[in-house]
Chain A
């Protein structure tokens, strides 16, 4: 072998060795890579296993803790697995009990269940299936079921379902409906018109009475704007104001004039309250309408009557003036004639006739007084004068200066009398009557009349006390009545105390008396501050 051939072979051998080493190196590297890859795989396998067991226990937890009953059954209805909620709902004693669910189906539901079983198999799921069951404890329950088929490699092997007890829901629903029906009945039949509107015044609901009141049928009203269909004249402001109140959640009552379908003007009294949705927002209002047209007409009639009455009262007063004047003038003529007859026949008439003449004069005077008093009495009620502050102290002292007081009588004001709101003339009349009355009936040698006042919360109490003849208790009630006089004296017509009573009434007060026959009388009266 030549040197050249040897060299070639040596080089080829060297290449082969190097190639082998290279290949070994590559193999080692690959082996290391493989080892690492295996480690990684093992690690991720463990992680996957962990994950799986975690998911598994999560699922188990869901299965156990789900509020609804969860049942897995085979395709023949035999229970394979169920959670605690199912045990409770279906009335089992524990989850291990083997049972065919079809046995629980209420007899009346058999056909529907067969049908829905078919549907479940065909479509793989059923939802919102409601049926009556009879539980193991023999309770009838209404349940709601959502179920689906469990497939194993595409083949249906079992079914799982969530069962919810809706028996109570159903009862509540029915009760609610009954209540609703009841209220609908009430609303429909009550005699008051009821209308519900939304925030835009569109009519949502009316009852039968409202239709009758307005003259429009329900179809004609629903969806229309209330104020369009029932025209209201010149009351736009009222409506706007009331709408605003409703939106602010206020209830109120108000009157409206509307025109019904026939164009008749009607007065309605409306009691309206805001209507809220479940969120508590105002969504409209509900109004109860009462037709008060008749009442309103009566009220108008009453007003008319009152003004008529006032007018005729005025006429009557005028008439009283005229009558008393006309009555008094013949009286004065008679008086003059009687005087003339007396003077013409002085010395001719005997004593008895003269005495009769003087009786005639006295009677005439009394007659004159009677007419004046009647006129006084009738005019008291017709005063329109406003009340002003009146200083009673002044008034009484002035009065004492004017009145005729006999020498044996003293009139005394014991303390300062108050100032009251009233009609000065009438108050003057009041004190004049009482004081002169007291003086008149003094039968003692030394008489007195004492006046004093006392402040009460809302009134002043005034007392006028005398030591006159007194009034028997049995007459106390009667003396304030008109034309009732205890003493038939010429000065007394029996009208004085009636006038007193009337004046006190006008001043929102009361009058009463305390008296002992022979000892004296005290009149008390109150006047509003």
Chain B
């Protein structure tokens, strides 16, 4: 998993819950990296999982909700770092449907070894998009957060329904209806 996901996560935890909470969850986790992350490095996903679990345990907030919040924060990072990328889109449906074909391609230019989820578009109209999310990470709520923020970015809203195709969340159907 890319380092930027870790550094931004740690920044958010420090921001929202304080340095002590951050110190806690790092110490509580058994991390190969010793909690040392740089945005350009690559680290094991299991470290993220441990940090999330410990944060959830310490705050009583579910992992899905944590991921949702983190995603909303992360979208801000993207807005700051890659404004050009977002500018190429005029419409949230348009942008979401081209995750696979455009955004992930751009990601690979910067992070060639990134392990990215796949989004398969099943249905697409001007106001409706149905996609299948597939990833061994089961971070569908991270995706959901990014999607929410995407609509927000284009000054619109949408109702997004998640249907788990696989119980462990590695395959999830997103049904997006633009309001």
Q: How far is the CA of A12 from the CA of B7 in the complex (A)?
A: 13
Q: How far is the CA of A11 from the CA of B20 in the complex (A)?
A: 11
| Identity of the chain A residue whose Cβ is nearest the Cβ of B35 in the assembled complex | A15
- Tell me, rounded to whole Å, the shortest Cβ–Cβ distance linking B7 to chain A: 8
B37 at the interface (CB under 8 A from A): yes
A114 at the interface (CB under 8 A from B): no
Q: Is the CB of B38 within 8 A of A22?
A: yes
B107 at the interface (CB under 8 A from A): no
Q: Is the CB of B36 within 8 A of A15?
A: yes
B23 at the interface (CB under 8 A from A): yes
A9 at the interface (CB under 8 A from B): yes
Q: Is the CB of A26 within 8 A of B22?
A: no
* A23 / chain B contacts, CB cutoff of 8 Å: 38-41
* A15-34 interface bits toward B, Cβ cutoff 8 Å, 1 = contact, 0 = none: 10011101100110010000
B88 at the interface (CB under 8 A from A): no
* B22 / chain A contacts, CB cutoff of 8 Å: 12
Q: Is the CB of A18 within 8 A of B40?
A: no
Q: Is the CB of A26 within 8 A of B37?
A: no
* B81 / chain A contacts, CB cutoff of 8 Å: none
- Tell me, rounded to whole Å, the shortest Cβ–Cβ distance linking B8 to chain A: 13
Most buried by A among B19, B20, B23: B23
Q: How far is the CA of A22 from the CA of B20 in the complex (A)?
A: 24
Q: Which residues of chain B from 1 to 54 have a CB within 8 Å of any chain A CB?
A: 7, 19-20, 22-23, 26-27, 34-41
Q: Is the CB of B23 within 8 A of A11?
A: yes
A8 at the interface (CB under 8 A from B): yes
| Identity of the chain A residue whose Cβ is nearest the Cβ of B37 in the assembled complex | A19
Q: Is the CB of A20 within 8 A of B38?
A: yes
Q: How far is the CA of A19 from the CA of B37 in the complex (A)?
A: 5
Q: How far is the CA of A9 from the CA of B23 in the complex (A)?
A: 9
* B27 / chain A contacts, CB cutoff of 8 Å: 11
Q: Is the CB of A12 within 8 A of B34?
A: no
Q: Is the CB of A22 within 8 A of B36?
A: yes
| A18 in contact with B34 given A23-B41, A27-B40 (CB within 8 Å) | yes
Q: Which residues of chain A from 19 to 53 have a CB within 8 Å of any chain B CB?
A: 19-20, 22-23, 26-27, 30
* B107-119 interface bits toward A, Cβ cutoff 8 Å, 1 = contact, 0 = none: 0000000000000
Q: Is the CB of B20 within 8 A of A8?
A: yes
- Tell me, rounded to whole Å, the shortest Cβ–Cβ distance linking A1 to chain B: 12
CB-contact partner of A26 in B23, B26, B35, B40, under 8 A: B40
Q: Is the CB of A26 within 8 A of B19?
A: no
- Tell me, rounded to whole Å, the shortest Cβ–Cβ distance linking B114 to chain A: 15
* A26 / chain B contacts, CB cutoff of 8 Å: 38, 40-41
- Tell me, rounded to whole Å, the shortest Cβ–Cβ distance linking B14 to chain A: 8
- Tell me, rounded to whole Å, the shortest Cβ–Cβ distance linking A420 to chain B: 123
- Tell me, rounded to whole Å, the shortest Cβ–Cβ distance linking A24 to chain B: 9
Q: How far is the CA of A12 from the CA of B20 in the complex (A)?
A: 10
- Tell me, rounded to whole Å, the shortest Cβ–Cβ distance linking A26 to chain B: 5
Q: Is the CB of B19 within 8 A of A22?
A: no
Q: Which residues of chain B from 48 to 87 have a CB within 8 Å of any chain A CB?
A: none
* B26 / chain A contacts, CB cutoff of 8 Å: 11, 15
Q: How far is the CA of A30 from the CA of B41 in the complex (A)?
A: 11
- Tell me, rounded to whole Å, the shortest Cβ–Cβ distance linking A18 to chain B: 4
| Identity of the chain B residue whose Cβ is nearest the Cβ of A16 in the assembled complex | B36
* A8 / chain B contacts, CB cutoff of 8 Å: 19-20, 23
| A22 in contact with B35 given A8-B23, A12-B23 (CB within 8 Å) | no
Q: How far is the CA of A15 from the CA of B35 in the complex (A)?
A: 7
| Identity of the chain B residue whose Cβ is nearest the Cβ of A11 in the assembled complex | B23
Q: Is the CB of A15 within 8 A of B34?
A: yes
- Tell me, rounded to whole Å, the shortest Cβ–Cβ distance linking B57 to chain A: 19
- Tell me, rounded to whole Å, the shortest Cβ–Cβ distance linking B13 to chain A: 12
Q: How far is the CA of A20 from the CA of B40 in the complex (A)?
A: 11
| Identity of the chain B residue whose Cβ is nearest the Cβ of A14 in the assembled complex | B36
* A19 / chain B contacts, CB cutoff of 8 Å: 7, 36-38
* B36 / chain A contacts, CB cutoff of 8 Å: 15, 18-19, 22
* A12 / chain B contacts, CB cutoff of 8 Å: 19, 22-23
Q: How far is the CA of A113 from the CA of B35 in the complex (A)?
A: 83
| Identity of the chain A residue whose Cβ is nearest the Cβ of B21 in the assembled complex | A8
Q: How far is the CA of A175 from the CA of B19 in the complex (A)?
A: 107
- Tell me, rounded to whole Å, the shortest Cβ–Cβ distance linking A36 to chain B: 15
- Tell me, rounded to whole Å, the shortest Cβ–Cβ distance linking A53 to chain B: 33
The 10 closest A-B pairs by CB, nearest first: A23-B38, A18-B36, A8-B23, A19-B38, A22-B38, A19-B36, A15-B36, A26-B40, A15-B35, A8-B19
Which residues does B use to contact A, with CB under 8 Å? 7, 19-20, 22-23, 26-27, 34-41
Query: A15-B36, A20-B38 known; 9 other A-B pairs, CB under 8 Å?
Result: A5-B20, A8-B20, A9-B19, A15-B26, A15-B34, A19-B7, A19-B38, A26-B38, A30-B40
28 contacts between A and B (CB under 8 A): A5-B20, A8-B19, A8-B20, A8-B23, A9-B19, A11-B26, A11-B27, A12-B22, A12-B23, A15-B34, A15-B35, A15-B36, A18-B34, A18-B36, A19-B7, A19-B36, A19-B37, A19-B38, A20-B38, A22-B41, A23-B38, A23-B39, A23-B40, A26-B38, A26-B40, A26-B41, A27-B40, A30-B40
